[in-house]
Amino acid sequence: MPPAAPARLRVTGLFFRGARVATFVALGCLLFPHLRGAETQLSGQTYLPLSDVAARYGMKLGWGESDKTMQLQNSYCTIECTVNERSLRLNGQPMALGFPIIDRGGMFYLAKLDFDYNLFPLLSPGQIPGVPSLHRIIIDPGHGGDDPGTQNAALQTNEKTNTLDTGLRLAEELRKRGYEVILTRTSDVTFDRKKRPIFANNSKGDLYLSIHFNETDVNSVSGVETWILTPPWEPSSTQPKFVDADKNVLPGNRFDLWNTLIGFSVERTVTKELGAENRGVKRARYDVLVPLNMPGLLVECGFLSNPTEGRLILTPDYRQKIALALADGIDLYKTTLDKLRPHTPAPPPSPTTPPRHPEMINEISLPRSVAP
Ligand SMILES: [Zn+2]
């Protein structure tokens, strides 16, 4: 079911790189040396000038399509920030922000909290402490039993049926790939959504993934969006602005930086493989995410209310495609974790142990980014 009214988000493609290089105005951060390190209080928040972010990552800073958009770019990453918008785009993928981008005197500013929780984990994953393990995955097919979720009378379908089938397919695929999988439900039963993350905690999962399908009054809206827990001191994507309760630190907030990594990986992979609109990574304090003792996410895999996407979701082939794409997104996250995890020293070679291939030295290099 829809967590919120659809946000206005432009999609220009997942791999935005080079398309606008010809028009890229390479101002460079040298134009703004006086702003480096210049944290500023704006609208009650600590903000960073984009020149600061650009300098930190050796990125060129320039204008985008208009004077409303600034673009940061290096060889592996393009970030677009549009003034007054509560989202940015990283390699074309929308990432919801807690606070709007602000223009002051021709320089754009990003809230420091938004940098910390959105850009930092993606641009500096090697600096996140405590790499989590990833073996036991809790799959939660949303709704069930007395709670049908979203319903589409014209297509004679509901959400709970499609989440269960997709969840079972995903579980089978993940088991094939060597993961241990526990499902919150394997049949059409009622299961209080507040108890599902508790079940996940008691099952000692390493990752929690809740599967849903979306709806909205506007039938033309389609696509996939991924929801992760809102960090403390930030308003959710469902809220117009900050309220006092947002200051609370919730159990699931221990995994905020990993949530960004898994959210980005899954949203990017699923939209790419399905060819679906990328509606981005968004934030909410959903019941299923708040109490988690592990990284977690809720994926709205498509709109049942869209006649075209709804019919697709009704086909077993498409649900299988969704399951494979979710599994690939989890695999991408696991690959990143494996690269970040400190390697245990290899045992001394014995006469029966073949020598390590010289290429194995590459294992010790940390990825600069999960972005390609
Ligand atoms: Zn739902």
What is the rounded distance in angstroms from the CA atom of residue 226 to the CA atom of residue 212?
Answer: 10
**What's the gap in Å between 95 CA and the centre of ligand 1?**
21
Digit-coded pLDDT (tens) for 106-150: 999 999 999 999 999 999 999 998 999 999 999 999 999 999 999
How far, in Å, is the centroid of ligand 1 from the Cα of 229? 16
Instruction: Give me ligand 1 centre to Cα 299, in Å.
Output: 9
Span(s) in the chain for CATH 3.40.630.40: 136-336
In CATH, the number for domain 136-336 is: 3.40.630.40
Does the structure show a pLDDT above 90 at 341? no
* pLDDT, greater one: 350 or 152: 152
Ligand 1: distance of its center to the CA of 7 in Å? Answer: 17
**Ligand 1: distance of its center to the CA of 140 in Å?**
11
pLDDT at 110: 97
Long-range pairs for 172-178: beta carbons < 8 A, 24 or more residues apart: 172/323, 173/323, 173/324, 173/327, 174/137, 174/139, 174/327, 174/330, 177/327, 177/331
Domain 21-127 has CATH 3.40.50.2300: no
Residue 350's pLDDT is what? 55
Ligand 1 centroid – CA 159 distance (Å): 7
Q: What is the mean pLDDT of the chain?
A: 86
- Taking the centre of ligand 1 as the mean of its atom positions, its distance from the CA of residue 300, in whole angstroms, is 7
Determine the distance separating the centroid of ligand 1 and the alpha carbon of 114, expressed in angstroms: 27
Residue 328 has pLDDT above 90, yes or no: yes
Domain with CATH 3.30.457.10 in the chain: 21-127
Cα of 301 vs centre of ligand 1, distance in Å, is 10
Ligand 1 centroid to residue 78 C-alpha, Å: 32
Give pLDDT, residue 65.
85
pLDDT at residue 62 tops 60: yes
Q: DSSP state, 137? A: E
- Determine the distance separating the centroid of ligand 1 and the alpha carbon of 191, expressed in angstroms: 13
Percent of the chain clearing pLDDT 70 (strictly above): 82
Q: What is the pLDDT of residue 26?
A: 36
DSSP 147: B
Q: What's this model's pTM, rounded to 2 decimal places?
A: 0.84
Dist. CA 158 → ligand 1 center (Å): 10
In tens, the pLDDT along 8-51 reads: 222 222 223 333 332 333 333 333 344 445 889 998 899 999 99
pLDDT for res 359: 29
Percentage of the chain with pLDDT > 90?
A: 78
- Quote the ligand 1 centre to 252 CA distance (angstroms): 20
User: Is the model's pLDDT at 90 over the cut of 60?
Assistant: yes
pLDDT bin (cut points 50, 70, 90) of residue 348 is low
Q: How far is the CA of 205 from the centre of ligand 1 (A)?
A: 21
* pLDDT value at 2 more than 90: no
**How far is ligand 1, taken at its centre, from the CA of residue 298, in Å?**
9
The candidate with the shortest Cα–Cα distance to 23, out of 98, 78, 76, is 78
Q: State the distance from the centre of ligand 1 to the C-alpha of 35, rounded, in angstroms.
A: 45
Kindly give the distance from the C-alpha atom of residue 167 to the centroid of ligand 1, in angstroms, as a whole number.
13
Query: Is 319 strand, coil or helix?
Result: helix
